[in-house]
Structure 1
């Protein structure tokens, strides 16, 4: 995709399974880094499953973001078919969620649907829910790297962050 120069036109949906760990953290981190770069883009998050609709992010997600000074405020929701036309970019946290997105993608979809890791190293973001204590910190650091790589690609810039 050609680099976009108008941040107001960039609308990003970060997607994981339940929308309580990886995607709300990704949403918060991407929004924070974009603002630090002076870019006002729209960022939201959703899950491919509806297990946690209406719930706040996992407390470990919130604690990790707060520890890094990243504001986080979202409620879990499930991906809808309108997201495929309402967003310019849909970023899947892992291959399974990418496959789920491709399965429900409507024929009139206009959003670019990709593995978020495809902007950097083609790696999935591992689900930290059942992981070790440091798993949420690892996801945070990965979200920082992926946010910078995404913004570099979309806006044709490089960051020293």
Structure 2
């Protein structure tokens, strides 16, 4: 982490396809874990597609977060080119979304665009939309592990 990039300056955007399952859950989990570590960071989420713009997260995403006492409050939006300058880190949920992000990344982009899984095990976050509640629980657990790995590397402050 560079001296100008203190944890307080971290602005993270979590991205999936429609912004109703993986990315709003990732946003909520990362915010929650950062707060528990005493880190004041900005976290938002969006989708690479505009299928659900303005909608609240999938009810299974909301119920999974509530089950783990993780506050969740977001509305779906689509990625904008300004996001590549507004955020310090853009975390893609899977390779398809990463490719989409890289293809639209403007020349003046300052954000680091990476697969979120690259901070831990290089695994994609599977889309739980067409499955049952068990898939959402697995995504939640993966978001916890990825949030910890991301904050360990970027903020350099491990939870005690």
Contact 1:4 1:155 survives alignment (8 Å): no
CA distance in 1, matches of 2:153, 2:137: 24
TM-score scaled by length of structure 2: 0.96
Query: Does structure 1 residue 133 correspond to structure 2 residue 133?
Result: yes
Is the alpha carbon distance of 1:70 and 1:12 closer, same or farther for their aligned partners in structure 2, counting shifts above 3 Å? same
TM-score scaled by length of structure 1: 0.96
RMSD: 1.3
TM superposition shift of 1:156? 1.8
TM superposition shift of 1:131? 1.6
CA distance in 1, matches of 2:66, 2:114: 28
Query: Does structure 1 residue 159 correspond to structure 2 residue 159?
Result: yes
Unaligned runs of 5+ in 1: none
Query: Does structure 1 residue 67 correspond to structure 2 residue 67?
Result: yes
TM superposition shift of 1:69? 0.2
CA distance in 2, matches of 1:3, 1:130: 43
Contact 2:60 2:133 survives alignment (8 Å): no
Query: Does structure 1 residue 111 correspond to structure 2 residue 107?
Result: no
What is the match of residue 42 of structure 1? 42
Is the alpha carbon distance of 1:114 and 1:134 closer, same or farther for their aligned partners in structure 2, counting shifts above 3 Å? same
TM superposition shift of 1:3? 8.1
CA distance in 2, matches of 1:131, 1:4: 43
TM superposition shift of 1:157? 2.9
What is the match of residue 142 of structure 2? 142
What is the match of residue 124 of structure 2? 124
